[in-house]
Every structure is written in structure tokens, then in C-alpha cells.
Amino acid sequence: MASGKACICENKDKSNWVVIHYKHNHSAFESPKYGEHPSNYSMVQCTKCLMTWSTKAKYVNELRIKESVMKDYSNLYNKGNDCDCCKNQYLCGTDGDAIGCKCLDEGKECCFVECEEN
């Protein structure tokens, strides 16, 4: 079952969709924590409305991979902070996986703001 909130754009233009994670996830509930784990699902994001969702639909194979994801994963621990617990992360899925940074996408410097525990 897919999770997250799919694209809310009126025309659902797939040329605006990018793959964040291709057939893998970074779960806190698998070992090693936040490591790359194989999955039938891919994480997709619309670059217009910024909605993010997971899916195992075949169209994922036709989408481009987000450039900031292809470079490396060092930006997940920017300036020594654990970005998974930063309020500036896009969260998705039932586990609240962090999949992108609002500051990075807006071309701004890292602004780490720790999420409060519930």
C-alpha cells in the first residue's frame, strides 16, 4: 500500500515528479538504522507542489532521480546534526521517514531546528 500524500497539482504532470528513493527505504525499524534497505516501493516527490509519496507503480521507472539524492547522503548529517530529527525535513510515510530538506531545496544554509519529542 502506498503512503504519503500524492501530487495535488491540477494537471498531475509527471515531468515534475522525481524519485527520491528508488526501490529502497531508510527505516529506523530495520538494521542498520537508517541504512539503505531494499523495498518494492520507491519514494516520489512533485517538484511543483512538494507532495511526497511512496509507490510501487511502474511509472517510477520512467521518472528522473532527484540530483541532490544522486550526489551523496552526507547532507543527511549536515553540520554534525541528525537531520532526521529536524523540523525542516519533509516527512513521509507511516514511519515519518525524512526524505528531503526544505532549506536545501530553497538554496538556503542549513537551519537545524530539533523536533520536540511527543
* The pLDDT of residue 80: 58
- Which of 36-45, 68-77, 81-90, 94-103 shows the highest mean pLDDT? 36-45
Structural domain tally of the chain? 1
The domain containing residue 64 runs over which residues? 3-105
Has residue 118 been placed in a domain? no
What would the pLDDT profile of 50-80 be if each residue is shown by its tens digit? 898 999 999 999 998 876 554 454 555 555 5
Q: Who has greater pLDDT, 13 or 112? A: 13
Give how far Cα 68 sits from Cα of 16, 74, 88, 95, 115, Å: 15, 11, 16, 22, 23
Has residue 115 been placed in a domain? no
